[in-house]
């Protein structure tokens, strides 16, 4: 635990964004006493149950995990079981009565400059928007989605060439470092949270597989953004000869989209030029 500050906290998280934040907290001696993550899910062709990235990290570092949270004070006394909850990339709504349990409330790390890009796909939505500035926001969670008062914010400028995974890792690193910086100040009461300007809120939607379908007649810039936003999942794809073709890599030259690498359905990744040479008569869909 941090030498200057000893707190008991629970971390709620599921995916890679949360893992990066956990690792930074851990490196700075902020070690959760419990990690709450979502249940194992079936994956792969055999649909075998697989633990979440956060659960794997917790097991590696010998930290207790659970798929839910309950607090039972001794002898029914009204006391705080933990000082703080930290939530990042959890993927589930946490009931208000749970959020209010810790002494210093529940903080959420969200990968956008709130109130912009609230919801489940802020990074993909930012890339698709073509905007240049993004960042991370730490809020005091309330019962509405990404609605709580702002505790801290850090801005970064996108290179406009980053894929979803690259930007996710960068934002997670910023979020983790920001948490390490502000947790002591938050506990000491030195930070006064500020209400979001809800009139400027924008909202994102859950990404589905069909969102990756692209129209090759769209402007090159729009397609290129979709490729970066939807890699690795669901993948930006089109159909040729009734087969799904996922675009792995592309670039824009002289306002034209140059497709470099693809993954045809049922085949290995390959150069697009090789695909064209091997398929003289293509039924573009």
- H-helix or E-strand spanning residue 233: none
CATH fold of the domain at 209-278: 3.10.25
Using CA atoms, how far apart are residues 26 and 196, in angstroms rounded to an integer? 30
Could you tell me if 119 and 163 are in contact, meaning their C-beta atoms sit under 8 angstroms apart?
A: no
pTM above 0.75, yes or no: yes
The pLDDT of residue 277 is above 50: yes
Confidence of residue 224 (pLDDT cuts 50, 70, 90): very high
% of residues, the chain, pLDDT over 90 = 81
Average pLDDT, the chain: 92
Residue-level pLDDT at 76: 47
Q: How confident is the model at residue 201 (pLDDT cuts 50, 70, 90)?
A: very high
The whole-number pLDDT of residue 87 equals 98
Mean per-residue pLDDT, 42-67: 91
pLDDT band at 81 (very low <50, low <70, confident <90, very high): confident
CA distances 136 to 148, 154, 169, 241, 264, Å, are 14, 5, 12, 43, 36
May I ask the CATH architecture of the domain 9-200? 3-Layer(aba) Sandwich (3.40)
**Beta strand 256-264 pairing with 243-253:** antiparallel
Q: Where in the chain is the domain with CATH 3.40.50.170?
A: 9-200
User: Which residues make up the CATH 3.10.25.10 domain(s) of the chain?
Assistant: 209-278
Which band of pLDDT confidence, cut at 50, 70 and 90, is reported for residue 41?
A: confident
Query: What whole-number percentage of the chain has pLDDT above 70?
Result: 94
| pLDDT at residue 128 is higher than 60 | yes
Q: Band of the pLDDT at 79, cuts 50, 70, 90?
A: low
Q: Which string of b and e fits 188-202 if b means at least 16 CB within 10 Å?
A: eeebebeebeeeebe
């Amino acid at each position: 635990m941090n030498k200057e500050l000893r707190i008991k906290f629970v971390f709620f998280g599921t995916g890679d964004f949360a893992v990066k934040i956990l690792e930074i907290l851990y490196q700075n001696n902020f070690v959760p006493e419990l990690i709450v993550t979502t249940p194992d899910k079936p994956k792969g062709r055999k649909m075998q149950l697989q633990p979440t990235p956060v659960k794997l990290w917790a097991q590696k570092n010998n930290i207790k995990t659970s798929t839910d949270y309950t607090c039972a004070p001794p002898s029914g006394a009204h006391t705080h079981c933990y000082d703080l909850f930290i939530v990042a990339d959890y993927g589930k709504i946490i009931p208000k009565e749970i959020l209010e349990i810790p002494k210093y409330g529940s903080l959420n790390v969200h990968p956008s400059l709130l109130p912009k890009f609230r919801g489940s796909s802020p990074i993909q939505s930012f890339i698709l928007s073509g905007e240049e500035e993004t960042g991370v926001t730490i809020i005091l969670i309330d019962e509405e989605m990404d609605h709580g008062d702002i505790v801290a914010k850090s801005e970064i400028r996108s290179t406009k060439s980053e894929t979803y995974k690259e930007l996710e890792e960068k934002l997670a690193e910023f979020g983790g470092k920001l948490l390490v910086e502000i947790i002591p100040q938050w506990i000491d009461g030195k930070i006064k949270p500020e209400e979001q300007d809800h009139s400027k809120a924008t909202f994102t939607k859950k990404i589905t597989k069909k969102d990756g379908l692209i129209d090759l007649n769209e402007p090159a810039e729009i397609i290129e953004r979709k490729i970066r936003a939807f890699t690795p999942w669901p993948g930006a794809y089109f159909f040729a000869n009734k087969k799904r073709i996922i675009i792995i890599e592309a670039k824009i030259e002289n306002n034209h989209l140059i497709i470099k690498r693809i993954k045809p359905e049922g085949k290995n990744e390959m150069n697009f030029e090789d695909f064209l040479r091997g398929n003289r008569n293509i039924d573009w869909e």
